[in-house]
A = this chain, B = another copy of it.
Amino acid sequence: MNYTQLLREKTQERMSIVCMGMDPVVEKIPFKGDAEKAISIFYAMILEAVKGEDVALNTVKPNYAFYAQYGFPGLRALKKVIELSKKHDMLVILDAKRGDIGSTSAAYAKEAFDFWGADAVTVAPYMGSDSVGPFIEWCDKGKGVYILNRTSNKGALDVQNEMVAGKPVYMKVAERIVAWGKPGTGAVVGATYPKELEEISSFYVKSGKKIPLLIPGVGAQGGSAGDVMKALKASGNDLTIQRINSSSGISFAYLEEKREDYAGAAVKAIQKLNKEIGYLG
């Protein structure tokens, strides 16, 4: 089974296309301990709470940087969080935005899939085909590769929206993704620019290839799940292979609600996001 099929299967198992970002900030975790312990217990409790039948979640996205900033204790926490997520039957997207020349990208792919044990990884397109190629090869083994396409941040405009022969760079990259991709190759498209999301999504639908989208930027970054769904539906895309990510909006929901029960607050935030996304059928 390729990664795109796996996404669809997971969506149907537990009707949801929500992805929970797992980006730890120890100052926001409501108990003490070294980074390894604090982070892994924090997410273990959330994963436990998410098991309930009244909450639908099947995909998580730990971002490497938030763990690595704490050194080895953080990296050990990342390993534990991934292992625990897989025990809870979650698809794990390692957000690491890797990319280098071919031989180095091959080593990065080993890191993501062999060492961390992720199901999918995010990669950067700036270095081109031989840079993303070694990741895409892993699609044959059922792994997923999300190539940065149109990111959710303001600075995205600087390079991604430069015009090349009447087309923005992000559309040129979309063309490359269609050309380079194997089943299981997807694209990162931010929720903060719904018009561009619709433009890119329409392009993929017309290409005839199934390109799963990873859509960050909902919640803290200002994107809205409603707008994302409008864009996806307007483009006629297959909703079951998409993932809409919220990170601190779920994990740290308890801080905004001034609740003590952070895992309960996370569950509520997931339920709310599922509701905003609406029925997928």
Contact = CB atoms under 8 A, between A and B. Distances in A.
Instruction: Indicate how many identical chains form the complex.
Output: 2
A127 B173 CA distance: 13
Interface in A28-85: 63, 65-66, 68-72, 75-76, 79
Contact of A158 (B98, B128, B162): B128
A111 B65 contact: yes
A229 to B, nearest CB: 22
With a 10 A CB-CB cut-off, give which of A95, A97, A221 has the most chain B CB atoms.
A97
A104 B247 CA distance: 12
Contacts of A107: 63, 65-66, 68-69
A160 B65 contact: no
Q: How large, as a class, is the contact surface on chain A? A: 35 or more
Contacts of A71: 114-115
A237 interface: no
B101 A128 contact: no
B128 A126 contact: no
A252 interface: no
A12 B71 CA distance: 34
Interface of A: 23, 63, 65-66, 68-72, 75-76, 79, 95, 97-102, 104-105, 107-108, 110-111, 114-115, 124-133, 148, 151-160, 162-165, 169, 172-173, 176, 221
